């Protein structure tokens, strides 16, 4: 007797990430899910409507990214790319080049500039000249500050003093009190008001482009960290853009969407309903399907290390400041407690150790006032943590979501910011594991490169682009890093029963790699070929015939 399945993959070297069955040679897929694994090429008499000879390639579960900005990355593909530039003259040339293709008065948008590499932020007046009087907006690589030129400052009411600067933000001025064009943190909302909402059509187009890149990177699931309102959101209709491309069959990656805390509002429920704070209709974490789902709510406690706006207990070593919180601490705490009470899972951006203390206090209070066994609270980045904070996170069951790739891309700048006394506290990994915590893999793309294999390499090496090894005791082996990008990203999304390992019954999301990343030298992991990516048993990247 033989049974026909949708897809058979033979002759593969499978790392299932399932402890009950770590390896296999073949995989049967039916109706989008893993039906069976087998150890020899007989496949227990199964036949496949489609059959693939993997020719010995390594097959692993599809990669997840627990923290990325897919819309921002996709939209950024159409802006002037300023990443990697090391002199300001080239920035002005690139802006002039783009401006010359645009009508008068059109916005000139650039992304990814790095003031550390450039030796300073671009000059507002030089941008005026380069853009021929057009308004210019440049996004810093951290996303936590942006730079605008004079026409845009005028538009925002920052030259005539009519603008109201939001709390938790700074409009940077020079010695004479004139705006330099630099808008920090919540002050970016001023620019967002003229640049947004981004039309849903444009968002959907950007997401489609991003999705193709993601499939080529082996990503089958990502969490989008901040949609809707606030400086991080692109439109109050942002979720509609994801639904649109999913319906059109152009979403090649499963997504969980985190509404920003600013998107939540009081709801008119009955007096006994706990859902008093949320999205219309009471939608919250978990709603949706296996393509597009509502994830946790995202709240910003502080800023970033690269922009020196993170809230620290002690001053930055190269700047006479402690950074700052994004709002009044009482208000931030109240938002966390209210959203938790309404049934939301909470993802709190906290980088500096002072911000981390505040969010741990808030999580502790939320848990005490409204006990919920499976709330899975998380700290995005958890960048600078003391031993005591690691222990407290473990005691409260708070998952850190750090970005190992930052160590390579901005490690030298972060090390300078915190100095030698605190450098080993940066973006820990092994310490979190030793404390019994999980560490899901993530990139914060487009803040850092988003390919999971690069992230895995950085988890293993922890080396900066300048050659500094940051926190050598925090390194992990490649199999542990692979677990972070598969099982643990599924777990933090609350989807460990349907994804994260190649186990019969789970979604058939998997990747074929050109090499075994758990055995090759670490410096080759990031450049390993992603031969093919399958989502629900369908090839979304790879050879045409598959």
CA distance 59 to 12: 6
Please tell me what DSSP assigns to residue 288.
B
Q: For Zn ion, give the closer residue by CB, 348 or 517.
A: 348
Closest CA to 487 of 93, 164, 20: 20
Name the one range near Zn ion by CB under 5 A: 200-208, 264-272, 441-449, 477-485.
441-449
Q: What is the DSSP string of 342-385?
A: TT--EEEEE-SHHHHHHHHHHHHHHHHHS--TT---EEEE--B-
Name the one range near Zn ion by CB under 5 A: 234-242, 362-370, 383-391, 440-448.
440-448
Name the one range near Zn ion by CB under 5 A: 219-227, 267-275, 402-410, 517-525.
219-227
Which are the contacts of 388, defined by CB distance < 8 A and separation ≥ 6? Answer: none
**Pairing between strand 530-535 and 538-541?**
antiparallel
Q: For Zn ion, give the closer residue by CB, 156 or 448.
A: 448
Contact (CB, 8 A) for 513 and 531: yes
65 binds Zn ion (CB under 5 A): no
Q: Which residue is nearest to Zn ion (CB)?
A: 444
Q: For Zn ion, give the closer residue by CB, 124 or 405.
A: 405
Question: What is the nearest approach in angstroms of Zn ion to the Cβ of residue 475?
Answer: 24
225 binds Zn ion (CB under 5 A): yes
Contact (CB, 8 A) for 466 and 411: yes
Q: For Zn ion, give the closer residue by CB, 225 or 487.
A: 225
Q: Report CA 535 to chain centroid distance, whole Å.
A: 20
409 binds Zn ion (CB under 5 A): no
Neighbours of 96 (CB within 10 A): 15
Selected from 444, 474, 488, 495, the binder of Zn ion by CB under 5 A is 444
Question: What is the nearest approach in angstroms of Zn ion to the Cβ of residue 168?
Answer: 16
Q: For Zn ion, give the closer residue by CB, 152 or 225.
A: 225
Question: What is the nearest approach in angstroms of Zn ion to the Cβ of residue 173?
Answer: 27
Question: What is the nearest approach in angstroms of Zn ion to the Cβ of residue 141?
Answer: 12
Name the one range near Zn ion by CB under 5 A: 37-45, 220-228, 328-336, 492-500.
220-228
Name the one range near Zn ion by CB under 5 A: 15-23, 102-110, 217-225, 435-443.
217-225
CA distance 386 to 382: 10
Torsion-angle region of 262 (φ positive above 0: left; ψ -120 to 50: alpha; else: beta): alpha
Question: What is the nearest approach in angstroms of Zn ion to the Cβ of residue 225?
Answer: 5
Rounded (10°) angle between helices 238-247 and 200-216? 60
> 258-317: which residues touch Zn ion (CB under 5 A)?
none
Question: What is the nearest approach in angstroms of Zn ion to the Cβ of residue 255?
Answer: 15
Q: For Zn ion, give the closer residue by CB, 30 or 445.
A: 445
Q: For Zn ion, give the closer residue by CB, 135 or 446.
A: 446
Residues in a beta bridge with 381: 350
Residue 231, CA distances (Å) to 160, 186, 194, 346, 471 in order? 23, 7, 12, 18, 32
Question: What is the nearest approach in angstroms of Zn ion to the Cβ of residue 444?
Answer: 4
Residues that bind Zn ion (CB under 5 A): 225, 444
């Amino acid at each position: 007797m033989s049974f026909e399945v949708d897809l058979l993959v033979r002759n593969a070297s499978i790392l299932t990430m399932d402890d009950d069955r770590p390896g296999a040679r073949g995989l049967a897929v039916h109706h989008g899910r893993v039906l069976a694994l087998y150890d020899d090429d007989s496949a227990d008499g199964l036949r496949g409507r489609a059959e693939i000879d993997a020719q010995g390639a390594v097959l692993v579960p599809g990669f997840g990214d627990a923290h990325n900005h897919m819309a921002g990355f996709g939209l950024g593909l159409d802006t002037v790319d300023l990443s990697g530039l090391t002199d300001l003259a080239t920035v002005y040339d690139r802006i002039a080049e783009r401006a010359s293709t645009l009508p008068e008065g059109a916005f000139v948008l650039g992304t990814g500039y790095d003031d550390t590499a450039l030796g300073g932020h671009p000059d507002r007046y030089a941008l005026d000249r380069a853009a021929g009087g057009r308004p210019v907006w440049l996004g810093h690589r951290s996303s936590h500050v942006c730079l605008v030129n004079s026409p845009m400052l005028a538009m925002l009411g920052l030259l005539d003093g009519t603008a109201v600067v939001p709390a938790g933000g700074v409009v940077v001025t020079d010695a004479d009190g004139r705006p330099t064009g630099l808008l920090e943190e919540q002050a970016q909302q001023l620019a967002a008001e003229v640049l947004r909402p981004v039309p849903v059509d444009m968002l959907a187009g950007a997401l489609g482009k991003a999705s193709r890149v993601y499939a080529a990177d082996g990503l089958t699931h990502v969490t989008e960290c901040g949609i809707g309102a606030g400086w991080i959101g692109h439109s109050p209709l942002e979720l509609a853009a994801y639904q649109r491309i999913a319906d059109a069959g152009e979403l090649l990656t499963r997504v969980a969407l985190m509404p920003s805390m600013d998107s939540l509002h009081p709801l008119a429920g009955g007096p006994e309903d706990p859902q008093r704070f949320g999205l219309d209709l009471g939608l919250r974490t978990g709603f949706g399907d296996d393509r597009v789902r509502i994830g946790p709510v995202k709240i910003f406690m502080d800023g970033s290390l690269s922009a020196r706006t993170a809230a620290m207990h002690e001053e930055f070593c190269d700047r006479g400041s402690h950074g700052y919180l994004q709002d009044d601490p009482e208000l931030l705490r109240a938002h966390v407690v209210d959203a938790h009470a309404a049934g939301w899972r909470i993802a709190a951006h906290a980088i500096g150790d002072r911000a981390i203390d505040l969010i741990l206090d808030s999580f502790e209070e939320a848990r005490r006032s409204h006990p919920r066994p499976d709330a899975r609270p998380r700290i995005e980045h958890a960048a600078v943590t003391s031993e005591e904070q690691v222990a407290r996170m473990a005691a409260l069951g708070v998952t850190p979501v750090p970005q190992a790739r930052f160590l390579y891309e901005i490690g030298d700048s972060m090390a300078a910011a915190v100095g030698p006394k605190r450098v080993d506290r940066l973006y820990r990994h092994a310490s979190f594991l030793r404390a019994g915590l999980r560490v899901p893999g993530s990139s914060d793309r487009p803040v850092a490169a988003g390919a999971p294999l690069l992230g895995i390499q950085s988890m293993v090496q922890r080396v900066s682009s300048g050659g500094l090894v940051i926190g050598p005791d925090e390194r992990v082996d490649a199999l542990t890093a692979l677990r972070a990008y598969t099982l643990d990203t599924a777990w933090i999304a609350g989807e460990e029963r349907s994804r994260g390992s190649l186990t019969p019954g789970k979604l058939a999301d998997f990747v074929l790699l050109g090499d075994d990343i758990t055995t090759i030298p670490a410096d080759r992991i990031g450049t390993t070929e992603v031969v093919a990516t399958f989502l629900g048993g369908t090839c979304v990247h790879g050879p045409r015939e598959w």
